[in-house]
Structure 1
Amino acid sequence: MDYANRKRPPRKPAKKASGKASRKPAKAGVSVPWSLVALAAVLVVGLIWFLSSISGSADKSGAAPQAQDVPPANTSEVVAEPIPEKPGDRWQYIDELENLEVEVDVPEREIGPPKLMQCGSFRNESDAQTLRARIAMTGLESQVRSSTGSNGLWYRVILGPYETKRDAERDRHKLQRAQVFGCQIWNWNL
């Protein structure tokens, strides 16, 4: 069925409103129930009377003794004690730590065998030279070495040698930012 060229179904005629609802005229104003207004006014007046009646009750009930009810104290019998001196600074570490030096023993790193990074191994020398050119565009120098194994002649693209693995990792991250993936770091001797 072709939905794009389909015609709309014909509209049905609107039904006429029937009954008393259509005959009632619209009201001009809204009627207010005067009994609710009177009840609200009585409640407001009652609340005001209640609040005014309890506002003066604290003075009459004697909730707080006034200064006139308290007998005066004998000032000749009261001896003023001297205020004790402020205690000294209990913390001494602040002065001690200012002149303290911390000694840390850092073990020397063991330098293992030199590291080489292989970024590819190809059957065709032209593929290896293409990868070498991409690596050269990142600013690193690589070599293409041929190796003969049990499964034939291979052309390896290698970088290095590096003294530490950290140096090799730094170059590998630089290559990954340049979209050269798959480089692996090995402990190889030349």
Structure 2
Amino acid sequence: MARRSKNQAKRNGGRGVPGWIWLLGGLAGGVLIAAVLLVRNGGDVKQLLPKPDPEARAPVAADEPVAQDAPEPRKPKYDFYDVLREREVVIPDAELNAQAQREAAAPADAAPPANADTVRYLIQAGAFRSAADAEALKARIALAGEIARVESAQTDTGTIYRVRLGPYPNAGALAAAKRTLGSHGIEAMAIRAE
């Protein structure tokens, strides 16, 4: 391997002014300008600062009140997702596990609860601003053996893409799916929608 000479290491081919000289020149120029301003003002730094205007007056409010139309009361805007949000309840893990144990302990021929037809169990694995991020999580869930879907929702700040699974027939099936996701490193929320 050939050895490089010291001439190859020089930048700009040995021509030009080094950067440190430009830095020192800029600093010296700034100090020179500051010194000229101080000498021109007699060495008083306070003269360089802005001065208050003694003739300035605060704006005077008009003697007659200006009649303003009363703003119309805001009508409530009902959005499909707002209605759902009020009907969805996040189920804490302890409550979900207790419900699953009660279902498992109940006899097989026992009648289902009265609200079993109206209650839906869902899992929300994530909510994203980017549809691509939501689709990536959906693919990870598919590798875990579960089927997910991406739902878009409009909010005040824009579109949110939610990754959801379900509905599940009961809390036991929901808890099992949530455990499967957890074993693959996917954190999720259990939701009961009525």
| Global fold match (TM > 0.5) | no
Task: Give the TM-score taking structure 2 as reference length.
Answer: 0.40
Choose 1 or 2 for highest CA Rg.
1
Q: Which has the higher helix share?
A: 2
Task: Give the TM-score taking structure 1 as reference length.
Answer: 0.41
Q: Which protein has greater RCO, CA pairs closer than 8 Å, 6+ apart?
A: 2
